[in-house]
Chain A
């Protein structure tokens, strides 16, 4: 724990407010959930294990949007098992947007870094210590998990899905030149104040929202580091990527192209 303090404190960015020097870095994981009764205990178990094994100071904030399948009940059981210092339940009444879920979660976050990820086991917590290491290495404002570089990759996608994914990413890179290889990914580590600033500035929804965060981050001159991750898609078989999603992606992309 002491080593984290030494390396984090001396290279703390100028964005820290005067007079408040955190003793130690703390990482708040925001988990927005909707109908994740099956997966929530598993993702929490994996998170607890990854953090405990690395001796990292953390908390997990579960933001459930009134799931009808009993996710909240499972979340309460997890809070009893792991303690309310580790698991914070901050639910909402009904399904609202992802951006507002992050804002809601951040209000209750006591960490100075925020980790966002999917709760459906497509993102594996084992990468979080790597994100943290990368962040310290380059003093980055954001560390983004990428499926497209290094030994990053995906499991469970057929040829059609891969073509759409790579094609969309290619167009995005040409049009936006974002300086990050995976724009639609949602497995990221942010400095808390950076995430707050970005959410204030973003207007889109869905995965265009994730893209816009990176684009705005570049505009605001935040630094972005990347870590290859593996994305295990167990949902793709049930929810094919429909024409609607592709159309709304293109609309979002063109909007960003024309306005940033």
Chain B
């Protein structure tokens, strides 16, 4: 099953469950407080997902490692390499 198919199945399952419970189609007598929460649940989850995404990406950008040492090391190795190669007869 492709990832797209998995997502569609998952969303369909959750969607049907939500619709069935929220509209009382199964004949279940849910207390009003439950139904109050259930109706806007998809919207809440969407917003929560958005916040999670922003938060995670923000955190990861903030902690993205800046390899200063690697850059410095590379610069000095480039100098060393050029000198050594010139010695060995490389014409740049």
Contacts and interface: CB of A to CB of B under 8 A. Distances in A.
A148 B60 contact: yes
A41 interface: yes
Q: Which of A152, A159, A166 has the most CB of B within 10 A?
A: A166
A232 B56 CA distance: 24
Interface string B52-71: 01001100110011111011
Contacts of A157: 64
Q: Do most interface residues of chain B lie in helix, strand or loop, or is the interface mixed?
A: helix
Contacts of A162: 61, 64
What bracket does the count of chain B residues touching chain A fall in?
20 to 34
Given A124-B74, A232-B74, A260 B2 contact: yes
Nearest to A42: B81
B68 to A, nearest CB: 7
Interface in A141-180: 148, 151-157, 159, 162-163, 165-167, 169-170, 175-177
What bracket does the count of chain A residues touching chain B fall in?
35 or more
Given A41-B85, A175-B3, A257-B4, A153 B67 contact: yes
A170 B56 contact: yes
B72 to A, nearest CB: 9
B81 A166 contact: no
A45 B88 CA distance: 11
Given A175-B3, A232-B71, A260-B2, A77 B90 contact: yes
Contact of B67 (A38, A80, A154, A170): A154
Q: Do most interface residues of chain A lie in helix, strand or loop, or is the interface mixed?
A: helix
Contacts of A256: 3
A2 interface: no
Contacts of B65: 151-154, 230
A121 interface: yes
Contacts of A78: 90
B90 A231 contact: no
Contacts of A124: 70, 74
Interface of B: 2-4, 53, 56-57, 60-61, 64-68, 70-71, 74, 77-78, 81-82, 84-85, 88-92
Interface of A: 38, 41-42, 45-46, 74, 77-78, 80-81, 121, 124, 148, 151-157, 159, 162-163, 165-167, 169-170, 175-177, 230-232, 256-260
